[in-house]
Structure 1
């Protein structure tokens, strides 16, 4: 344990060291002067000024008192809606004011704005200029001639300089506009022109020089210069707190040195400017709480950096503590788990930083909260998978697993010696006759002296299905009991209850096998001795299939099943928390009676009974030795129906048993509660979350593509990608370590596993809104016909929509090149893979390549074409014909 503690301390120290190593610190020129002017809007919160955001005199006075310490003047953008209160209050603090008149297409509003601006200039001696319109030409809301007329109207009415605010290139390209104003108010915002923060100052100075050269003698003012502290990148332009501080400090220093008149946009962050894209609210040198966002002197640093580091380290430590409760964890196991825990801590810290550094209107706050809520279980699932990787790759070998070499010799169980009686129950419903005969024949060959077999056919009135089985049971001898039960209630569970009623009184162990299973002779001989321990209530053997070579689809399906039985079940067995499945299962009769027998209130009666037995405190054991083989589902449709039944039944079990997971509600151990909870979350939750997140992302696509709102990558999209990578590594690594199949079959198994995401999520959704669905038998044995319907229609629809969404994002982002949007598009592609996997298998099932004969013939033809084997020509058996000379000889 000391070694493990040392590992945890080492990882924590390394984590802290990384925070220290990556702490950002930038040098920039000190600025100790007073800014000549800053843009000011007296609005607060996220409401648009035109809606309901009327400024209050007390707030304006507090703002201007603070701004008077850092600037000599302010620039306004309108003269109505409460902004008219600003100039007289600014005079109280010695601030000059450049009044703005907001001009758009609304002529009535334009008139009010101009009249108010003129009035403010006449009544307030601290007004030093009027800006008529702000980027009005750029927005296309006024023609130049019309705007010039408005400017002339204002110039006639006031004694202060009058101009309009436009982007520098508008001035360059329209000299007639420049001739109509008293000075040129040029907006130079390098961010919007895709310049980097390192190029921003040079670009601004160059544009100033360009305008001064083009309009000699005209006063040139850079009326807007700034850099956002947050938001998305625009090609090479990266917003951020460090970038903002560096750009502004470098700019004001250069501007002061060469005598540039300038105005910084803007004084205070404006959360209501979300319509200007992700960067809109973040141009202020003060945040929305009126606190400075950076210092004008000294190195540029994040003052909250070590607070965030402390959060990351604290979360990492707390999430690492469960490692200490593991039973003798190995060093590499602890190292991987602790590293993952600290990685989650770093992500949590990033979430705190993002939440503290951004403003949210209701919609974005709701979307972010919903996204984070969905990510929490996703990260728990990823951590559970990392835990399983660490345990299997670096932990102890399984200790409770029953292996062939560790099977016990016959011993005393109860009052019987050596060979307690086993009653084997085989429920059947419209099963192929020859298949069921094979199952009964295999049972008759069991190398065990004391057993009976109860074969119950339920709700199958057609005598062609039950009469041959009845005759076959008679032929096999008195050990075999046949029951033909009609109008059975409760599906399979109801049939098994009837079988229990006909079970021999002295049978101490009940064996359950499906109608398609051919058991090995040593099944009972090897596993019944485990019940010598009176605490053991159940012993489970894995499922296996003997028809995996029927087609390529069945081959990969068989590989997918194997992962559950060779990986998950082996690990769960270590904590006495296996999932019971209703075949190849041996149950102590007294344990079954204590649990109340087979229940019909779920359609997964086997798992339900197994969990109840564990809740009663019985021990369960598992072996991964194959003691029998059954048949795979006939079709992909049957495969999906079976998975739907398992998922729906699993959700029923969650609803039925969740109270027993509360402290003291049952005899389940802490480890059992954890394994079952994480197991349900890992299976039902992961698949459902995948579909929910995919659909929500589809809904979000038009917002991202057309409303200039990017999904934050560090806290939302990158964790989704990380979880996908963890799932991929989990699948590949554990299959390679535990499942003895070839790489090609493993790849196919991965596709098969992904293909049922939609199926499982549908089952969970139906479990939320319904109480009971009918038991759907899995078609096996070749009786079922392939449906004429395409078996992955909805998967195809969603998968294609996700790909279209990704394409739309990429196309619409081709100009802006916002990195977060590209990452979001990548997430959509990843999320489409499970849906497309279903489409691939549905297509495969009906194609020639599903046949192994096709691949064998293709291999032979390829070898012949490249000369690796000689071409085999067809042989023609014909009688030899006489040549012409012989014919002539015979005629002569």
Structure 2
């Protein structure tokens, strides 16, 4: 407890220090007490200027907010309610530069002009009329057409008339300047990608260039501003502090030089996000809630820093509380876990801050909402993987793992070994039965059941061999049995000897070690023990490169995940190398056929009845790997589908509690989420991002925010760290095999997701046997859809990257996410393609590696490169432990009863 509290205190201090270190403050010249002019659009946060008209009450309320800080306002239209602005502004002693909206709609244009002329004649506070706003830039009108409109308005009013255009339009068309009474120039350095700290000098430099080009002409900087949020544009970055610095410096220097200007804009306009992109809503001096974004004098500080920091610290603390429950946690282990919790706390605070301080159009709301929901399981998976890293790399020795030969029991309970077989090659099954016959255990029987296999060529040799092996071996042939493998095992139970206390289950392809029962049956000396599980392993890993990869991928589950789950008495029971107490099986209801993973289902049912399960990493049996990548995929598809059936069957009782301990429930729920949820969510996010690519590239809409993309990249890097570090610490296969295992694991992402999707649709499927012990079948390319998705994601990443003309950081992140998301699909394609090439041959691959190293070292090859040497796959006998175990079963029982720290 003390070490955890110390870690909590240390991480909290570092976390707070990082927040203070990252805190932004700035100094800038004070802005004038009142701005010369502000662009004014009186629309509420949830209103769209394209669809609704301005309301008198909104105009009046907004003028109350901005009148104390400006002498004048500029509008952009004279209709749709904005005709109310001049008289209401007069009440606040505000002058108005009246806008006339000009586009391709001639009927509206006429209505706008007529309204503006009338307003100017009736309101003495209208100091100027701006005919059109960047109309030439938008190509809605030609220069000559605009000149004609300006002349028309000038002929109908004595108020000064101009048009609003960006600065280079005036320089490119001096005839336009001759037609106006003054130049209304838009200088917006952000849109030109000018860095914020150079923007004021840049704008004033443009102003001087215009003065030189048009001597004697009055020039108004009719639009200058800076967005307080949104994406960068080349070197131009956004932010409230940046906005404050730019506007304060500009207005201070403009006042000193007597420059007439208008700031864009008074109040944020969320509706502009649909037409001006990510930064459109954020140009206001006031936010949409009518609060000033920055102080006009004195130090500039972030408005939301303190709430954000407090939320991050609080969330980090709350997420760290489960660490207090870890028994015997080391300081470094606690430090890693608490650090990860605080990292997630900081991300959560940033997400909340983003939701509360940004405006979202409908599409952005949907994207943020869906993205936020989908990231929750991803973040849980990240924390789970970090937890495993901390436990294995920095935690204490495991308490429940059977790591030594157990003391022999006084009695020798009878074991009934059940070997179900369905269309299995006879020679393979005979090897399995021979290994059972050679068991160094005096009291066992073996029930062999061949089910739904009418071809005599499959079962007759087995029947004959069982007779040769003697009376211990019982042969059953059930040509028509329902319930898949579970149905066969139920029949085997009916033919089990009455005095058999332990049931052993092995697959038809498994060769068992002679000391399997001798070493593990004594664990049942503790009457609470219902299950003892040994890991799977394989004797054909040296058949090909693909088999080496598959073998290492399996090993990760049995040497990493199962060991950690065992500490919570929450292992996944699998029907290979499994021993179960008969009374525990009866207590749990026996084999059930309502899932196709009957072994895991029964194991969980036994645990729910309060029995204990123990696990050993020692290999006591070696089976065969799937023949090819397609078989590998189909096997994982079956496991995933069966897993989803088990989730459905048991989730309700888990959530309600009572049957399992809190640690067991958490382990199972998080384990299911980690295995099936993460892969499924990963595919869903990848497909959604793929759909989003053309919208980003061609639709000119906002890309996913950094708060949505960074966790995906973080999850990928945590996955790599988790995989490589834990394989090095636990699996200890060669680097070649470890990298191959990573590829094999990634290659199954779509397979797992598809199984989950199919379960949603149909909930049931037939049991499909995994072909083993033969050659790869010649069939069509098994990773076709993975190749399509991977290729599209890779192409999307390239397209997004190379069309990011303004070097937007979030777009680069999005491109990186697409690249990362393509890797599992490309891995599947690579592995599927590998088995069709000579590179799948281990000897050939070793020679290739040997030659590459020889070329690098400029000498003849002398030996196989270490990274390409396949692991030995000979079937070894378990290594005895030299030092006696103090009290094997008793120690395990004592550990079970030890109180939590």
Range class of TM-score, shorter chain = over 0.9
Contact 1:350 1:714 in 2 (8 A): no
CA, structure 1 residues 123+863, in 2 after alignment: closer, same or farther (shift >3 Å)? closer
1:707 Cα deviation from its structure 2 partner: 3.1
DSSP 3-state at the match of 2:417: strand
1:664 Cα deviation from its structure 2 partner: 4.3
Higher relative contact order, chain-length normalized (CA < 8 Å, sep 6+):
2
Whether 2:760 is the aligned partner of 1:761: answer: no
| Counterparts of 1:142 and 1:855, CA distance in 2 | 68
Contact 1:46 1:361 in 2 (8 A): no
Whether 2:110 is the aligned partner of 1:111: answer: yes
1:45 Cα deviation from its structure 2 partner: 2.9
In the other structure, the counterpart of 1:730 is: 722
| Counterparts of 1:6 and 1:467, CA distance in 2 | 68
In the other structure, the counterpart of 2:876 is: none
In the other structure, the counterpart of 1:22 is: 22
Whether 2:429 is the aligned partner of 1:436: answer: yes
1:127 Cα deviation from its structure 2 partner: 0.6
Whether 2:597 is the aligned partner of 1:604: answer: yes
DSSP 3-state at the match of 2:500: coil
Which region of structure 1 is more displaced relative to structure 2, 4-13 or 673-682?
A: 4-13
| Counterparts of 2:859 and 2:92, CA distance in 1 | 94
| Counterparts of 1:869 and 1:280, CA distance in 2 | 64
CA, structure 1 residues 395+864, in 2 after alignment: closer, same or farther (shift >3 Å)? closer
Which region of structure 1 is more displaced relative to structure 2, 242-251 or 352-361?
A: 352-361
CA, structure 1 residues 453+105, in 2 after alignment: closer, same or farther (shift >3 Å)? same
In the other structure, the counterpart of 1:816 is: 806
| Counterparts of 1:580 and 1:681, CA distance in 2 | 18
Which digits, 9 at most, give the CA deviation of each residue in 1:3-28, with x for residues without a partner? 32122111112211221222111000
Counterpart mapping for 1:637-716 below 5 A: 637-666=630-659, 668-716=660-708
1:785 Cα deviation from its structure 2 partner: 5.4
In the other structure, the counterpart of 2:283 is: 283
1:313 Cα deviation from its structure 2 partner: 0.5
| Counterparts of 2:26 and 2:706, CA distance in 1 | 22
1:817 Cα deviation from its structure 2 partner: 1.1
Which digits, 9 at most, give the CA deviation of each residue in 1:408-465, with x for residues without a partner? 2123xxxxxx211100000001111110010000000000011000110001111111
Whether 2:623 is the aligned partner of 1:624: answer: no
Which digits, 9 at most, give the CA deviation of each residue in 1:59-114, with x for residues without a partner? 11111122211111111101111111111111111111111111111111111111
In the other structure, the counterpart of 1:359 is: 359
Which region of structure 1 is more displaced relative to structure 2, 727-736 or 31-40?
A: 31-40
In the other structure, the counterpart of 2:204 is: 205
Q: 1:748 aligns with which of 727, 740, 755?
A: 740
In the other structure, the counterpart of 1:883 is: none
In the other structure, the counterpart of 2:527 is: 534
Q: Which runs of 5+ in 1 are unaligned?
A: 412-417, 871-892
CA, structure 1 residues 768+372, in 2 after alignment: closer, same or farther (shift >3 Å)? same
1:663 Cα deviation from its structure 2 partner: 3.8
Counterpart mapping for 1:783-862 below 5 A: 786-813=777-804, 815-858=805-848
| Counterparts of 1:265 and 1:860, CA distance in 2 | 67
Contact 1:277 1:707 in 2 (8 A): no
TM-score by length of 2: 0.94
CA, structure 1 residues 255+869, in 2 after alignment: closer, same or farther (shift >3 Å)? closer
Counterpart mapping for 1:64-75 below 5 A: 64-75=63-74
TM-score by length of 1: 0.95
In the other structure, the counterpart of 1:415 is: none
CA, structure 1 residues 68+855, in 2 after alignment: closer, same or farther (shift >3 Å)? closer
Which digits, 9 at most, give the CA deviation of each residue in 1:556-591, with x for residues without a partner? 100000000000001111111100001100010000
CA, structure 1 residues 485+139, in 2 after alignment: closer, same or farther (shift >3 Å)? same
1:137 Cα deviation from its structure 2 partner: 0.7
Whether 2:73 is the aligned partner of 1:83: answer: no
CA, structure 1 residues 212+717, in 2 after alignment: closer, same or farther (shift >3 Å)? same
DSSP 3-state at the match of 2:50: helix
Whether 2:54 is the aligned partner of 1:55: answer: yes
1:50 Cα deviation from its structure 2 partner: 2.6
CA, structure 1 residues 307+857, in 2 after alignment: closer, same or farther (shift >3 Å)? closer
Q: Which runs of 5+ in 2 are unaligned?
A: 863-901
Q: 1:522 aligns with which of 499, 515, 526?
A: 515
| Counterparts of 1:203 and 1:385, CA distance in 2 | 50
Contact 2:77 2:101 in 1 (8 A): yes
Counterpart mapping for 1:309-388 below 5 A: 309-388=309-388
| Counterparts of 2:9 and 2:289, CA distance in 1 | 39
DSSP 3-state at the match of 2:144: helix
1:864 Cα deviation from its structure 2 partner: 8.8
Contact 1:538 1:585 in 2 (8 A): yes
In the other structure, the counterpart of 2:895 is: none
Which region of structure 1 is more displaced relative to structure 2, 725-734 or 516-525?
A: 725-734
Contact 1:710 1:820 in 2 (8 A): no
| Counterparts of 1:869 and 1:221, CA distance in 2 | 78
Which digits, 9 at most, give the CA deviation of each residue in 1:139-198, with x for residues without a partner? 111011111010000001001100000000000110000000000000000000110110
1:406 Cα deviation from its structure 2 partner: 3.8
Which digits, 9 at most, give the CA deviation of each residue in 1:225-267, with x for residues without a partner? 0000011100000011011000000000000111111000111
1:304 Cα deviation from its structure 2 partner: 2.4
Contact 1:36 1:73 in 2 (8 A): yes
Contact 1:222 1:262 in 2 (8 A): yes
| Counterparts of 1:733 and 1:302, CA distance in 2 | 40
How many residues get paired? 860
Contact 1:278 1:708 in 2 (8 A): no
Based on CA coordinates, which of the two structures has the bigger radius of gyration? 1
Contact 2:536 2:619 in 1 (8 A): yes
In the other structure, the counterpart of 2:888 is: none
In the other structure, the counterpart of 1:9 is: 9
1:863 Cα deviation from its structure 2 partner: 8.6
In the other structure, the counterpart of 1:391 is: 391
Which digits, 9 at most, give the CA deviation of each residue in 1:373-399, with x for residues without a partner? 111111111001111111111111111
Which digits, 9 at most, give the CA deviation of each residue in 1:685-734, with x for residues without a partner? 11101101101111111222233333354311111111111111111111
1:862 Cα deviation from its structure 2 partner: 6.8
In the other structure, the counterpart of 1:141 is: 140
1:31 Cα deviation from its structure 2 partner: 2.2
CA, structure 1 residues 707+46, in 2 after alignment: closer, same or farther (shift >3 Å)? farther
